[in-house]
Amino acid sequence: MNFWQMISLSVIIFCTNEVSEVATIPKGTRNKIVRVLKRNQGLSSTEIGEQLGLHKVTVRQHLDVLEDNGYVDYTKEKGDRGRPRNVYHLTAKAVNQLFPRNYPGFAISLLDAVAATDGEKKVYSLLRQQMEQRAADYFQGRTYASLAEKVGALADFFNHEGHMVEVEETQDAFMFREHHCALIDIAEKYKQLCQIELSFFQNLLGFPIRRECHIASGDSLCSYHIPKMNIID
């Protein structure tokens, strides 16, 4: 295996991961609570319970266990009336340990070696080729009759890649939200990766879209505004 094959393999390993359950927490209620908190920045036990169909007392019992293990924390927030409520958040420990990181140090060191040898343009080319190849493998032979089907296929692809995607359809657009970035360690150092993702969206959809939030810039999620006006279903 030559150097470039090793580079390609490392990036493939880094990119390959499907988030079905939060690692290290057994399947069940606490796993679901962690996933709800990853999708929402700050919820009370009542709000978590409403999303999961659980009583707030049951939710608090699970939150106590997660807090004891250092996975959640809370702040007190004043409401319009009554006592302040506890608003729960995932800790940095939870984000770093419970969600996929996928060999970041190894992949980044290899990309650094490429940048030092051949320049950052080569890194950009490599990352773009890897995304295009993975997308080609996933979308090969598929056709879509509508914009909604295309957006749904994109959501399936990025969920398969570990990005915790949800899509909200409004009257004039689709809001495409990624609540986790499995490639954040690379994206923070090589910003080209985020531009590659945006270009990938636009190439598949066939028209420009707008990025509204960006994890690598400090936001809690990446979100894209996909207008309906550019296509006729």
Residue extent(s) of CATH 1.10.10.10 domains in the chain: 29-98
Domain limits, CATH 3.30.1380, in the chain: 104-227
- Residue 208, classed as helix, strand or coil, is coil
Residue by residue, pLDDT tens for the chain (233 residues) are 344 444 454 554 444 443 445 555 556 899 999 999 999 879 999 999 999 999 999 999 999 999 999 999 999 988 667 788 899 999 988 988 888 765 667 788 888 999 999 998 998 898 899 888 888 888 888 888 899 999 999 999 999 888 999 999 999 999 999 999 988 888 998 888 999 999 999 988 999 999 999 999 999 999 999 999 755 44
> Which class in CATH covers the domain with range 29-98?
mainly alpha
What CATH class does 104-227 carry?
alpha beta
